[in-house]
């Protein structure tokens, strides 16, 4: 699966569709209440299943949406419930079932509701008797590809901006000629550090870090101004909107930077006959990093996930396999002698005399771990890491 996003201009119709989807969600909540009242508030897989079927019949057809779009909301609601039950089972006592009404809900159109008409027009059906949604497609939109591969279209609202997400189903056989394995360490300083057994590449994260700092600065300075105004006053709204506009722009620049890095990285892998990319799993927080503020940490985690996701789908499109492995000990083990110790700064130094860029050591060890020989001495003398800079316009504050 891969997704292409297209921003679209705000219209009242978009607002109405979004609101309709949100009210389907609210209706699900209400219907579940009714069902629970009749069935004694028991929850469980089988009961949920029959409730689902009942709900499909009950969900009013009055919403101006395609029946499959309505069904999608219902199934989202039950997926949500399932997630909650799993959390409870795993001992999370604070987990709650979905209970809150929503003002914004993503609308989904399944394949049968999607048509391409004329040369550059998309028609999304909202059910019989309702106005369909027409969208003009930009020049660079590959209509033929879309017709062949489209799976679903989603209308997503994010921070004041509507966009359409085109989700394509892409399947490509894995290539056989790529034999190499490359280890990837997604660092907090550099977005990608890779090692293929011979060379270590460091994708310089300076530009993206500067954007993080700028983002924090914008939040702080607007926050101060916003705090001084009366809540929901005209000036308050004005400032809030301006703040999100700035942040959206910065987030886009960050995303764009991550896109450029990952595209370049995956291209290098392809030309280097790499068959497998191994990424260290960063879902846990790493030791010996002082993140400072929580905001920073959240942003970093977001970027970790984003980089992994981008590498995964870009690599898969080229037929390169992607594996995610637990990166425990990969930042501590010495590639030459196998001893473990925590590096204290950006440089990894071992008693045996081995010294190397810290994230480079991570990438070497992630590769070793995947190959099943973490701690075995790496024979070749390590070439010094090669830095790769992003070609970007100077970012103005
Ligand atoms: Zn050593």
- Per-residue model confidence as pLDDT tens for the chain (397 residues): 678 899 999 999 999 999 999 999 999 888 888 888 887 766 666 667 788 888 888 886 678 898 889 988 988 888 888 888 878 877 777 778 787 878 888 999 998 889 988 888 999 999 888 899 999 999 888 888 888 888 899 999 988 889 999 988 765 544 445 678 999 998 778 889 999 888 899 998 888 888 988 998 999 999 999 999 998 899 999 999 999 999 999 999 998 999 999 999 999 998 888 889 999 876 555 444 444 455 566 666 677 788 999 999 899 888 899 998 888 888 888 888 888 888 878 888 888 888 888 889 999 999 988 988 887 777 556 778 888 887 765 544 4
Q: Is residue 376 part of a domain?
A: yes
Instruction: Compute, in angstroms, the gap from residue 386 CA to the centroid of ligand 1.
Output: 22
4 occurs within a structural domain = no
Backbone φ and ψ for 311, nearest 5 degrees, come out as: -60, -45
How far apart are the CA of 351 and the centre of ligand 1, in A? 6
- Does 384 lie in the same domain as 277? yes
Q: Answer yes or no: is 94 within a domain.
A: no
For residue 99, is it within any domain? no
Residues 85 and 124 placed together within one structural domain of the fold: no
Query: Please, which residues have CB within 8 angstroms of residue 104's CB and are 6 or more apart in sequence?
Result: 18, 22, 157
CA of 355 to the centre of ligand 1 (A): 8
Comparing CA positions, the residue from 390, 48, 12 lying closest to residue 209 is 390
Same domain, 64 and 195: no
Q: What is the pLDDT of residue 327?
A: 82
Last residue of a domain, one of 115, 142, 168: 168
Domain match, 209 and 352 both: yes
Same domain for 232 and 147, yes or no, is: no
Same structural domain, 288 and 330? yes
CB 15 within 8 A of CB 47: no
Domain membership flag for residue 329: yes
Q: Are 330 and 214 in the same domain?
A: yes
CA of 166 to the centre of ligand 1 (A): 50
**268, 315 Cβ separation under 8 angstroms:** no
274 shares a domain with 236? yes
Is the same domain home to 55 and 162?
A: no
Domain-embedded: residue 267: yes
Do 122 and 63 lie in a common domain? no
pLDDT of 339: 87
3: which DSSP letter?
E
Q: Separation of 379 CA from ligand 1 center, angstroms? A: 12
Does residue 245 sit within a domain?
yes
Per the domain annotation, does 74 fall within a domain?
yes
CA 208 – CA 215 distance, rounded (Å): 10
What is the spatial distance between Cα 283 and Cα 391, in angstroms, rounded to a whole number? 29
> 336 CA distance to ligand 1 centroid (A)?
5
- Please tell me the distance between residue 341's alpha carbon and the centre of ligand 1 in angstroms: 9
* Domain end marker among 168, 202, 220: 168
Q: Give the pLDDT confidence score for residue 68 in this predicted structure.
A: 86
Number of domains in the chain: 3
What pLDDT does 289 receive? Answer: 45
Q: Do residues 204 and 190 make contact, with C-beta atoms less than 8 angstroms apart?
A: yes
Residues 258, 196: one domain? yes
- Report the separation in Å between the CA atom of 339 and the middle of ligand 1, taken as the mean of its atom positions: 6
Q: What CATH code is carried by the domain that includes residue 353?
A: 3.30.420
> What is the whole-number distance in angstroms between the Cα of residue 276 and the centre of ligand 1?
27
Domain that holds residue 116: 107-168
Beta pairing class for 200-203 and 386-388 = parallel
Is residue 355 located within the same domain as residue 244?
yes
Angle between helices 294-317 and 234-271 (to 10 degrees): 40
């Amino acid at each position: 699966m891969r997704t292409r996003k297209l921003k679209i201009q705000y219209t009242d119709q978009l607002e109405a569709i979004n609101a309709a989807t949100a009210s389907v969600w609210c209706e699900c909540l209400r219907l579940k209440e009714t069902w629970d009242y009749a069935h004694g508030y028991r929850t469980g897989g089988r009961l949920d299943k029959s409730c689902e079927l009942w709900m499909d019949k009950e969900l009013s057809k009055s919403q101006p949406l395609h029946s499959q779009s309505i069904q999608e909301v219902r199934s989202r609601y039950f997926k949500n419930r399932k997630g909650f039950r799993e959390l409870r089972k795993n001992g999370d006592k604070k987990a709650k079932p979905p209970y809150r009404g929503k003002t914004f809900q993503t609308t989904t159109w399944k394949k049968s509701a999607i048509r391409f008409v004329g040369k550059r027009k998309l028609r999304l059906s909202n059910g019989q008797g309702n106005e369909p949604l027409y969208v003009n497609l930009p020049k660079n939109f590959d209509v033929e590809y879309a017709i062949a591969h489209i799976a679903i279209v989603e209308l997503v609202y994010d921070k004041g901006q509507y966009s359409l997400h085109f989700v394509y189903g892409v399947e490509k056989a894995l290539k056989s000629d790529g034999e190499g394995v490359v280890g990837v360490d997604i660092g907090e300083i550099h977005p990608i550090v890779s090692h293929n057994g011979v060379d270590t590449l460091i994708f310089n994260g300076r530009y993206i870090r500067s954007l993080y700092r700028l983002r924090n600065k914008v939040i702080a300075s607007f926050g101060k101004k916003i705090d001084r105004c009366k809540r929901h006053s005209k000036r308050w709204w004005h400032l809030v909107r301006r703040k999100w506009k700035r942040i959206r722009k910065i987030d886009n620049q960050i995303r764009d930077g991550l896109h450029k890095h990952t595209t370049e990285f995956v291209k290098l892998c392809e030309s280097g006959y790499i068959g497998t990319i191994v990424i260290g799993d960063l879902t846990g927080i790493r030791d010996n990093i002082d993140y400072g503020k929580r905001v920073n940490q959240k942003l970093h985690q977001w970027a970790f996930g984003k980089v992994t996701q981008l590498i995964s789908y870009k690599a898969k499109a080229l037929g390169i396999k992607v594996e995610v492995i637990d990166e425990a000990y990969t930042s501590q083990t010495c590639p030459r002698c196998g001893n473990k110790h925590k590096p204290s700064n950006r440089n990894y130094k071992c008693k045996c005399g081995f010294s190397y860029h810290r994230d480079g050591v991570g990438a070497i060890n992630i590769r070793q771990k995947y190959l099943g020989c973490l701690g075995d001495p790496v024979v070749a003398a390590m070439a010094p890491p090669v830095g790769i800079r992003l070609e970007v316009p100077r970012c103005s504050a």
